[in-house]
Chains A and B, each alone.
Chain A
Amino acid sequence: DAGVIQSPRHEVTEMGQEVTLRCKPISGHDYLFWYRQTMMRGLELLIYFNNNVPIDDSGMPEDRFSAKMPNASFSTLKIQPSEPRDSAVYFCASRPGQYNEQFFGPGTRLTVL
């Protein structure tokens, strides 16, 4: 298996632009998580899905952030409009079932100018 796939790996955009981050979880994994990593705040859980349904989005910082999972093999995290403080590394992770570990993707490094 190729593992969790994220695209793009790097994204540089200007303030006010829309940004879409993509994730393909490992096949058969029914949980999907989006995290953000910054030096100041460490690793933060933004939202997670179970069987494509959003379960907890309490970590989503603002209404500018939205996430979808239209099917079991694809999820997006969208920021509209983007701001410089959104600059971070965004990780997607998937997990098979309730009692297993999460598998992380390589991350997307987002820079908002």
Chain B
Amino acid sequence: AQSVAQPEDQVNVAEGNPLTVKCTYSVSGNPYLFWYVQYPNRGLQFLLKYITGDNLVKGSYGFEAEFNKSQTSFHLKKPSALVSDSALYFCAVRHLAGNMLTFGGGTRLMVKP
């Protein structure tokens, strides 16, 4: 079985400050990890993924994520938040050889001016 936990329902940050959205996962074998973002009344948009290689992955819109195997975490980060980053963020995991993505419950990011 595979699972994803996003421990924070909401993260509040001031514009210009760094942000972190937390994600921990559980999967047997090598994980394939993703972050997606959802804006109101829209579908999910891909931000970044980790398969193998460098533990720090860079993605769209200045976001990055750090894979930590020992802590089974894949936290999403951005050095300087924008108001337009306010949205719902989902972490997802699958086994590298599998096809079924398991999503976390989502974290709402609120960036205030």
**A binding-site residues for B, Cβ under 8 Å:** 4, 31, 33, 42-43, 45, 48, 50, 55-56, 91, 93, 98-99, 101-107
Residues 19-46 of B contacting A (Cβ, < 8 Å): 32, 34, 36, 41-46
Is there an interface contact between A102 and B46, defined as CB atoms closer than 8 Å?
yes
Is there an interface contact between B34 and A101, defined as CB atoms closer than 8 Å?
yes
6 contacts across the A-B interface (CB closer than 8 A): A31-B99, A43-B106, A48-B99, A56-B99, A104-B36, A107-B41
> Size of chain B's interface in residues, with CB distance under 8 A?
21
**B binding-site residues for A, Cβ under 8 Å:** 32, 34, 36, 41-46, 49, 51, 90, 96, 99-106
Write out the residue numbers on chain B whose beta carbons fall within 8 Å of the beta carbon of A91: 43-44
Write out the residue numbers on chain A whose beta carbons fall within 8 Å of the beta carbon of B102: 45
Tell me, in angstroms, the Cα distance from A78 to B41 when the chains sit together: 22
A101 to chain B, nearest CB (A): 5
Contact A43 to B90, CB < 8 A, known contacts A4-B43, A101-B46, A106-B43: yes
B6 to chain A, nearest CB (A): 10
Tell me if A's interface is mostly helix, strand, loop or mixed: strand
Is there an interface contact between B45 and A104, defined as CB atoms closer than 8 Å?
yes
